[in-house]
């Protein structure tokens, strides 16, 4: 996403020096999300009601969906005849995307980690799973950094002891913390991709799309809890930063009112961080075909007993083994599956897999029988999943 394919880098430098100079700071910055105090908080059984490599979608009404579609049309046509791509998030939830599934996952993950309002304001990262030139004074004032303090450089090893030597300071380190700020015009800016010393204007970030293998300018814009990400083909902008600034100005002129309407509609229907909580259930829904997941809010999951989470973690291991076995024995054939485990505290951990969709659930009531638990899953399936996991 940030450097292009590893294969292309190895073809450019078969000795591996170029790829090492990029991998080392990237991995070190990636690991910086894990430390808690002096320890690394790595994924554990407590994360068994989460699914890495998926996006979390926002559910919205018909009126909001119409407004979103209208906004997307404006975003995708911002660069004239060139084909742009866009992604819209509300809080940390995906509203819309015109990217391929793989590119959507990559950009969504990076947006939640570094670009969302939560990431900018608190610096706490979520597990949902990575300008310069002769612009006019109007664009410079809009895109210049508004953060007055110094931006610290996080180097985990000195250049003389790191495996990559002095190259570490010349590599774009997109995963650094505290490097994104909201400009006066609403666009997010960073100095990670470089800064023009004379104008103090940041260079526009660029990313690579996996599907098209095309370099794109990354232009995030934020209005309240709404984050818009516009991707503009680098090849379509002939005059560099000045051309990007003109596209941004066109976006503000053509889409400001639509952005306001979308934010109002989504905020009106927003149920807060517990919007997808279902009383009595702790669950994880996964749509493998669309790479989408939905789960009980993290605050509700923390109420589960350790024994319950251990049972669900064991259940997920069993399901993964069965899925691998079925995939090996019947290439291309998906197998329906149901597994139930009784935890030491008498809670039930249940999994149902059918048609590319997966449901994992914990029911913590000591008096429950398997029949009662199965009936609870049926009710959940019929009410919230259109009967996708019903046994009938």
Residue 189 lies in a domain: yes
Backbone angles phi, psi at 384, to 5 degrees: -115, -10
Q: What is the pLDDT of residue 224?
A: 93
Percent of the chain with pLDDT over 70: 84
75 pLDDT more than 50: yes
DSSP state for residue 57 in the 8-state scheme: B
**Banded model confidence at residue 149, pLDDT cuts 50, 70, 90:** very low
108 & 229 share domain? yes
Long-range contacts of 152-158 (CB under 8 A, 24+ apart): 152/178, 154/29, 154/32, 156/28, 156/32, 157/28
CATH of the domain at 336: 3.30.450
User: Is it the case that residue 144 has pLDDT exceeding 60?
Assistant: no
Q: Report the chain's mean pLDDT, rounded to a whole number.
A: 83
What residues contact residue 121 under an 8 Å CB cut-off, 6+ apart? none
Rg (alpha carbons) of the chain, rounded to whole number:
23
φ, ψ for residue 285, nearest 5 deg:
-110, 130
Q: Is the pLDDT of residue 164 over 60?
A: no
Q: Which pLDDT value is given to residue 232?
A: 94
In a domain, 366, yes or no: yes
For residue 142, which of 256, 246, 224 has the smallest C-alpha distance? 246
pLDDT of the residue at 283:
95
Range name among 148-162, 232-246, 259-273 with the lowest pLDDT average: 148-162
Does 167 have pLDDT greater than 80? no
Residue 12 located in a structural domain: no
pLDDT band, residue 35 (cuts 50/70/90): confident
Nearest to 237 by CA among 258, 265, 217, 255: 217
Other C-beta atoms closer than 10 Å to the C-beta of 298 total 14
pLDDT, tens digit, 9 for 90 and up, residues 304-337: 999 999 999 999 999 988 888 877 777 666 678 8
**126: containing domain:** 60-130+174-269
Domain boundary among 237, 269, 301: 269
The answer on pLDDT for 110 being more than 90 is yes
User: Is the same domain home to 292 and 260?
Assistant: no
- What pTM, to 2 d.p., does this model score? 0.82
> Is residue 73 scored above 90 in pLDDT?
yes
Q: Domain total for the chain?
A: 2
Specify if 164 maps to a domain: no
pLDDT of 201 > 90? The answer is: no
């Amino acid at each position: 996403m940030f450097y292009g394919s590893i294969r292309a880098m190895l073809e450019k430098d078969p000795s591996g020096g170029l790829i090492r100079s990029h991998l080392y700071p990237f991995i070190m910055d990636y690991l910086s999300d894990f430390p808690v105090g002096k320890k690394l908080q790595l994924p554990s059984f407590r994360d068994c009601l989460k699914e890495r490599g998926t996006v979390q979608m926002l559910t919205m009404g018909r009126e909001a969906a119409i407004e979103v579609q209208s906004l997307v049309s404006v975003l995708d046509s911002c660069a004239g005849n060139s084909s742009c791509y866009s992604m819209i998030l509300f809080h940390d939830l995906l509203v819309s995307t015109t990217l391929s599934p793989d590119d959507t996952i990559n950009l969504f993950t990076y947006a939640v980690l570094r670009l969302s309002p939560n990431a900018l304001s608190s610096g706490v990262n979520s597990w949902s799973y990575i300008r310069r030139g002769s612009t006019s004074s109007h664009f410079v004032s809009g895109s210049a950094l508004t953060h007055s303090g110094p931006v610290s450089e996080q180097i985990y090893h000195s250049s003389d002891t790191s495996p990559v030597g002095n190259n570490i300071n010349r590599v774009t380190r997109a995963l650094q913390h505290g490097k994104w700020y909201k400009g006066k015009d609403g666009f997010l800016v960073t100095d990670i991709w470089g800064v023009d010393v004379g104008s103090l204007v940041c260079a526009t970030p660029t990313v690579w799309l996996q599907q098209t293998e095309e370099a794109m300018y990354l232009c995030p814009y934020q209005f309240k809890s709404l984050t818009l990400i516009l991707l503009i083909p680098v090849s379509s902008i002939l005059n560099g930063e000045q051309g990007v600034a003109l596209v941004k100005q066109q976006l503000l002129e053509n889409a400001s009112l639509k952005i306001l309407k979308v934010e109002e509609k989504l905020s009106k229907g927003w149920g807060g961080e517990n919007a997808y909580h279902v009383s009595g259930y702790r669950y994880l829904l996964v749509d493998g075909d669309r790479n989408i997941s939905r789960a009980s809010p993290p605050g509700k999951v923390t109420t589960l007993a350790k024994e319950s989470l251990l049972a669900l973690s064991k259940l997920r291991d069993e399901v993964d083994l069965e899925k691998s076995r079925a995939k090996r024995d019947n290439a291309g054939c998906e197998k329906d599956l149901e597994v139930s485990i009784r935890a030491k505290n008498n809670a039930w951990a249940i999994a149902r897999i059918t048609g590319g969709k997966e449901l994992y659930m914990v029911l913590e009531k000591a008096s429950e029988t398997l029949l009662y638990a199965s009936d609870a899953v049926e009710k959940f399936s019929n009410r919230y999943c259109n009967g996708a996991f019903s046994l009938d």
